[in-house]
Chains A and B, each alone.
Chain A
Amino acid sequence: MNKDIERDLYTEKYREKMNDYVNNIVLNNPLLIKDYPILETEFNINGTKKDIYSLASERDIKKMQIKSDKNELDYKFSQNKITKFEYENKIDEINDKMKCQDLLYDDLIFNIINTNDIYIIEESILKYNLNNIDLTRLAEAISSVSENKIEEFRRNNKGFMLDKLSYWNYKYNKISKGISKAREVESFIINLIDK
């Protein structure tokens, strides 16, 4: 069997184990979040992992911040306060930041769905007692994550050799399970919306 596949599988499985360990380490040492601020993306200040609604809301807030940064740039450019070159460079930076952010939050949200029982996810949503607007936003966020993950899978697995078919099937089954769970969560949320 191809050495690349073995290496890919090993990396994937090792990372899964490592994540489990790190989750426990952070839970038992929440001050680590102060030492490594990037952890704030995934963890609450008490060391627990952020739930699906927290992640989705934060993503929305950060998206709005980026849009606001873009508007500010547009204004500055329209007022000739920055050159076209500066404007285009900054816009590229902002777009890159948005892209990385989207990928990260897609990953974090999908991971929550993949690694938790459905009822735990549902309970984590119910506790917020969300209104219809927030429920709709949340359902859309999860739908968007599913679509992005399908698109990512298609993009990363376009060409494959026939002798890697088993590996392709393995990856496809894995992503399908996650998408199926995501759709279940989405339906659950939609059913909560008052007609």
Chain B
Amino acid sequence: MKITIKELNDVKNEIFNKYIADKEKDDIAKLVNDEVKKILGDFEESKDKEFIIDE
């Protein structure tokens, strides 16, 4: 039997959806959104400090 990363992740998804209430999922989504915004903010900051190739 072939087992793939995707199949394992799909099963975990199924378990997660079964056991975690919608309200909690919303909270998790909000937390993740905030984390992603912070990382993207850091990208924007570091853009100013990135190297410039001399012509």
The residues of A with any CB-CB pair to B shorter than 8 Å are 1, 5-6, 9-10, 13-15, 17-19, 21-22, 25-26, 29, 32, 36, 38-39, 41-42, 96-97, 100-101, 103-104, 107, 165-167, 169-170
Contacts and interface: CB of A to CB of B under 8 A. Distances in A.
B20 A9 contact: no
Interface in B20-48: 20, 28-29, 31-33, 35-36, 39-40, 42-44, 46-47
A10 B5 contact: no
A19 B28 CA distance: 12
B16 A21 contact: yes
Interface of B: 2-5, 7-9, 11-16, 19-20, 28-29, 31-33, 35-36, 39-40, 42-44, 46-47, 50
A18 B13 contact: yes
B5 to A, nearest CB: 5
Contacts of A101: 2-3
